[in-house]
Structure 1
Amino acid sequence: MTLLALAQLRRRPAAFAGLAVALFLLVATTTLFGSLFATEATAPDAVRRTAVAGPGLMVIAGAFGEIAVLVAFFVVVNAVGFALRRQHRELALLRTIAATPRQVRRLVRVQIAATALAVAAPGALAGTSASRLFLDALRRRGMAAPDLRVPLTPLPALVAVTITLAVGLAASAVAVRRISRIAPAAALTATATEQGRTGVPRLLAGICAAVGGGLLLRLAATRPAGELDKAGQAALLGSLVLLVAVGLTGPLAARALVAVLGAPARALMPGTGWLADAQLRGYARRLTSAVVPVALLVGLSATMMIMTRTAEHAAGTTGATSATDVWLRQAELALLTSFAAVSTINTLIAVTGERHGEFALLRLVGATRRQLLRMLTAEAALTTAVGVLLGSAVAALSTSAFSTAATGSPLPSVPAEACAWIVTGAAVLTFPATLGAGLRAIRGPAAERAGGGRD
């Protein structure tokens, strides 16, 4: 199984490219903030006692690292699921020729471990370099002691690689469970179908996540004005937990939103618009997979933007924020946006690219390439709209809680132009990723692609 797993990696490296990027980000992020912790922990007492602006290096590393690692974890879990979905047919064939569930799980574990180890060195190097750049930026702004230096120790990188392996293997155990547990005779059929109902355990997990997010937002709203940093972190963490709830309960919400938003598409494009609407509603799980990263991008970015503007507004009356607070939020926004953007691109390319058989069947019954591209354009527009609405709803709840703590009012200060740029950015990511992957998926002879041929 080890040799077979490595052969799969060599034969189809593109199928694991998105996973490699996600694992690289997790290694780099964990190394970055682990290095900052090591910097503070190994500094002499005299250096640690130096007065600085802002909350201090350990607090900054903890606050940034908490959210960034959670987002990176989200990206990795998503990428692992798609890496396995792209080889479900091969795994199903192994099951039909007597491969046991344990052997299938072992093959997947080897693939994940090999990918993680391949990106370990470059990820650790990038994280260490980023920690030095980040520390330099903090020193220039007086937020870290001038004599602090990132220590030359491999410990943060080793911890980061260990965490990344654990996350990847845990995600693969969940993702491979269905294909490894069903009967061999049903394995191939399972790769071509989608479960029509959202399972009770998934719904319960989604409800628990929603309740947890609500409790975090209540915690944020009850923070005093002098503890805006704690209110902001609670609100941001609450928004992330709510986005997890969206992912778990998404098939229900996304299908309902598409039913409403699909009406204009059906009216403007009677043929391809109707087909796009039917495809999205018929494959609610696939729709949720595409929508959640867009909601993550919009929700986190809008939450950070609006919280920053609200804090600036509060500073005019209470002095509750400062230039260092604003800079920290902007830096955190840039980091989280980059993660969300990577997740969006990876997911949309994977979701669209795996539909080559579906596109081939449509071509065989008379659809032209131009019609398929129009259908994909309509799908991209609906996906963007649903993702923006869900992300905006999460951002509205999170920033309302933060605004209550900062100003006493649940109505935050909204930077309309910045929010418009966030929506534009979501569209700029969604349309090229969807259409680019679609162009690749519809090329080649339709009869061969419908029969399961791959690039």
Structure 2
Amino acid sequence: MRGSVLPLAVGQIRRRPAAFAGLAVALFLAVAAVTLFGSLIAAQLTAPAAQRRAVVAGPGPAVIAGAFGEIAVLVALFVVVNALGFTLRQQHRDLALLRTVAATPRQIRRLVRLQVTATVLLAAVPGGAAGLLAARAFLAALQERGMAAPGLRIPVAPLPVLIALAVALLVGLAAAALTVRRVTRPAPAVALTDSAAGQRRTGVLRLLAGVVVLAGGGLLLRLAAGRPVAELDKAGQAALLGALVLLVAVALLGPVAARLLAAALGAPLRVLLPRVGWLADANLRGYAARLSSAVVPVALLVGLAATLLTMTSTAEQAVRLSGATTSVTKASDVWLRQAELGLLVCFAAVSTVNTLVALTADRRREFALLRLVGATRRQLLRMLSVEAALTTAVGVLLGAAVAGAASGAFSRAVTGSVLPVVPGAACGWVVAGAAVLTVPGIVGTGLWAIGGPAVEEVGGERG
């Protein structure tokens, strides 16, 4: 099989374009983000000495790129890991079948590495080009606000793009090495059985890692809460980083947390909608890994956006009460936070749409089976609508919990109280945006997935 690994890798990409398209978009965003902020740093480092010493309204492009890009790049990489995990779960059955026909674990790992490498290379050129264009636009915006020297230019150099390519490739290969263990570790027959059962069990190592990451996020929030009032910026950075770490813990513990929340929220639906509600609730709880993949991007969107909005409102009120002016309330820094929020929301929104569309599209055979046992298209659409509402609710609750913990820690540092100032209208728009991305994405894709002859879908290959 050694010489056939490359054709198999290419064949899998062709067979499942929806799953790999989501991974490609995530890698595109990661490469673009690293290129964007790397180019800003390169512009500062390669500028003439006079421009580097120019007095600007702020710390300068390099420092802004470092602080601003730290969270953005981590979010982009988080999206890549989530997308890759989903892509490999989509191939679980095919990879397990290869194991049953004498493919070794080493060959399976090589196959996955080739897939990741090919996807990274496909995303590298457009991602690098987009990153360079975004760097020029961002630098121009900084210059308009006096936060960068007027003569500063983005250098035409391949180094930022190459660094972004290397980072994306390393992250992709590391995530692949961890995720492919589900197929290569158990015996071939056990791996095939797990794929048929939907991988309902969550591994002990994953649970332990989730608990450790959760504790790490708690320590970061404790550090943020202990900052003095004079260090609002540092408290905000620690709180935002803590929120991201907590979201990583949500991703690791997602199958357990999502199943518990789905059970709690699904109980009323079983009473209000005895047939459709029962089926939707059973689908969500029965396929915990699938539910976790769906709610994590929603939690990422809500958690980061609500954290930034609530922290800003809390800091602004504290400044109004004290009468002091800090970088938290300066117009230039407010613009920076708005730009950061827009970038993070863009990452999370793309991840949400990619994941939900691919997840729903992969259920065509499941929908066909339901149609063969008597379910109508109208009933399936109602079931999907209920599932979409539950998925949104679970993701919003998880994201709100993260935002509440992070903004509470920040509020403790700023005001001495753990009760932050919540901008109700802005957070309401965030929740509405999550619903707009989730419900139409699931129902619209489901409308396409339930089309076609049911017998042919059941008799054909899965996915």
TM > 0.5: yes
Deviates more, 1:401-410 or 1:267-276: 401-410
Name the residue aligned to 2:444.
436
In 1: Cα distance, 2:188 partner to 2:430 partner: 46
Deviates more, 1:221-230 or 1:121-130: 221-230
Choose the corresponding residue for 1:305, options 309, 312, 316: 309
The one-character-per-residue Cα deviations of 1:121-150 (angstroms, maximum 9, x if unpaired) are 111010011011111111111111222211
State the 1:347 CA deviation.
1.4
State how 1:20-419 maps to structure 2 within 5 Å. Answer: 20-316=24-320, 317=322, 318-320=324-326, 321=328, 322-419=330-427
The one-character-per-residue Cα deviations of 1:147-169 (angstroms, maximum 9, x if unpaired) are 22111211000000011111111
State the 1:306 CA deviation.
1.1
In 1: Cα distance, 2:230 partner to 2:141 partner: 25
Q: What stretches of structure 1 of length at least 5 have no aligned partner?
A: none
In 1: Cα distance, 2:192 partner to 2:346 partner: 37
Against the structure 1 CA distance between its residues 305 and 84, is the aligned structure 2 distance closer, same or farther, given a 3 Å change threshold?
same
Letter in 2 for 1:360: A
In 1: Cα distance, 2:278 partner to 2:425 partner: 33
State the 1:435 CA deviation.
1.1
State the 1:71 CA deviation.
0.7
Q: What percent identity do the matched residue pairs reach?
A: 69
Against the structure 1 CA distance between its residues 88 and 198, is the aligned structure 2 distance closer, same or farther, given a 3 Å change threshold?
closer
Asked whether the 8 Å contact 1:32–1:131 carries over to 2, the reply is yes
Asked whether the 8 Å contact 1:361–1:446 carries over to 2, the reply is yes
Against the structure 1 CA distance between its residues 234 and 336, is the aligned structure 2 distance closer, same or farther, given a 3 Å change threshold?
same
Q: TM-score, normalised by structure 2?
A: 0.94
SS of equivalent to 1:54: coil
In 1: Cα distance, 2:203 partner to 2:87 partner: 22
In 2: Cα distance, 1:262 partner to 1:251 partner: 16
The one-character-per-residue Cα deviations of 1:394-441 (angstroms, maximum 9, x if unpaired) are 111111111222233322221111111000000000011111222232
In 1: Cα distance, 2:53 partner to 2:421 partner: 37
In 1: Cα distance, 2:86 partner to 2:303 partner: 22
In 2: Cα distance, 1:89 partner to 1:199 partner: 18
In 1: Cα distance, 2:185 partner to 2:210 partner: 24
The one-character-per-residue Cα deviations of 1:292-349 (angstroms, maximum 9, x if unpaired) are 1111100000011111222222232232231122111111100100011111111112
In 1: Cα distance, 2:230 partner to 2:48 partner: 30
In 1: Cα distance, 2:67 partner to 2:19 partner: 34
In 1: Cα distance, 2:292 partner to 2:97 partner: 27
In 2: Cα distance, 1:404 partner to 1:82 partner: 37
Asked whether the 8 Å contact 1:27–1:124 carries over to 2, the reply is yes
SS of equivalent to 2:429: helix
The one-character-per-residue Cα deviations of 1:48-71 (angstroms, maximum 9, x if unpaired) are 222221232222111121111111
Against the structure 1 CA distance between its residues 437 and 174, is the aligned structure 2 distance closer, same or farther, given a 3 Å change threshold?
farther
In 1: Cα distance, 2:64 partner to 2:380 partner: 48
Name the residue aligned to 1:423.
431
Deviates more, 1:140-149 or 1:388-397: 140-149
The one-character-per-residue Cα deviations of 1:217-274 (angstroms, maximum 9, x if unpaired) are 1111222223222111111110011111112222222222222211332232110011
In 2: Cα distance, 1:288 partner to 1:171 partner: 17
SS of equivalent to 2:198: coil
State the 1:365 CA deviation.
1.4
Letter in 2 for 1:319: T
In 1: Cα distance, 2:213 partner to 2:15 partner: 39
State the 1:206 CA deviation.
1.1
Q: CA RMSD in A?
A: 1.6
Asked whether the 8 Å contact 1:27–1:123 carries over to 2, the reply is yes
Q: TM-score, normalised by structure 1?
A: 0.96
In 1: Cα distance, 2:94 partner to 2:253 partner: 29
Asked whether the 8 Å contact 2:86–2:293 carries over to 1, the reply is no
Asked whether the 8 Å contact 2:388–2:438 carries over to 1, the reply is yes
Letter in 2 for 1:5: A
In 1: Cα distance, 2:33 partner to 2:265 partner: 37
SS of equivalent to 2:183: helix
Letter in 2 for 1:173: A
SS of equivalent to 1:270: coil
